[in-house]
Amino acid sequence: MLITAKDLSKAYGSGENSIIALNKANLEITQADFISIMGPSGSGKSTLLHLISGLDTPTSGAVTFDGVNIYETGDRELAAFRRRKIGFIFQQFNLLPVLTAKENIIMPLLLDKRQPDEAYLKHITDLLGITHRLSHLPGELSGGQQQRVAIARALIAKPDIIFADEPTGNLDSKSGGEVMALLSSIWKELGKALVVITHDSRIAQMADRRFVIVDGALSEVQAG
């Protein structure tokens, strides 16, 4: 088991204004999983993602990675876990506009005082079809190309798991479809766990395990 969430809850605020954003969620993610999490706006999807990736702290419950509770390690270990074990992909690409595509891709490694593996960089940019665009600035790329640069950036540190929060939310349906097809083939080729949060049932159905979340309650959709 790669990541396990056990009875994971998050409440915001206190007293009458308190909101239970996530209510005793249980989730087990293995290295082989492609998981989708679907739910309406405000149902707790981002809260769940932030908690299982160490971006926020739970009110109760545990998140374990390789058997260790990530919230019982120190800040430095938690930061290293996020930097080295997880790749993040966001709806808004989050590329730095003054850096080229290549500089954006390798930035997480440089921040971690590591050098890129050029052969691996070429392998992933070839898979994503952006090798010929690496010297361009984000503003010179289409939305779909920018998201492919962001996917390469998520992969560069060779993480074990990719979390994608509405990765096609900012794209038209054609480029969104292409980005999802690429994510799915990368999942098969590189053998990394993939967790995609989406509003779109067609995207959710591409996953091999599907979850829904309603009012903070997470449940797995049974196949069949």
Residue with tokens 């990541």, as numbered in its chain: 3
Q: Does 47 bind ligand ATP (CB under 6 A)?
A: yes
Count of CB atoms situated within 10 Å of the CB of 17? 7
Residue 120 interacts with ligand ATP (CB under 6 A)? no
Number of residues that bind ligand ATP (CB under 6 A): 12
Q: Which helix (H) or strand (E) holds 75?
A: helix 75-85
The span of 42-50, 127-135, 149-157, 173-181 binding ligand ATP (CB under 6 A) equals 42-50
Q: Is 12 in the site for ligand ATP (CB under 6 A)?
A: yes
> Whole-angstrom Cα distance, residue 175 to residue 166?
13
Tell me if 45 contacts ligand ATP by CB under 6 A: yes
- Residue in 18, 30, 42, 92 binding ligand ATP, rule: CB under 6 A: 42
Ramachandran assignment for 42, one of left (phi > 0), alpha (psi -120 to 50 degrees), beta (any other): left
18 counts as binding ligand ATP under rule CB under 6 A: no
Q: Residue with structure tokens 């098969």? A: 188
Among 14, 41, 115, 222, binds ligand ATP (CB under 6 A): 41
201 lies in the site for ligand ATP, by CB under 6 A: no
Nearer of residues 33 and 165 to ligand ATP, judged by Cβ: 165
Separation CA 186–CA 141 (nearest Å):
21
Does position 214 interact with ligand ATP (CB under 6 A)? The reply is: no
Strand partners, 165: 90, 197
Q: Is 89 in the site for ligand ATP (CB under 6 A)?
A: no
- Residue 39 lies near ligand ATP (rule: CB under 6 A): yes
Give me the DSSP letters along 158-183: --SEEEEESTTTTS-HHHHHHHHHHH
Binding site for ligand ATP (CB under 6 A): 12-13, 19, 21, 39, 41-47
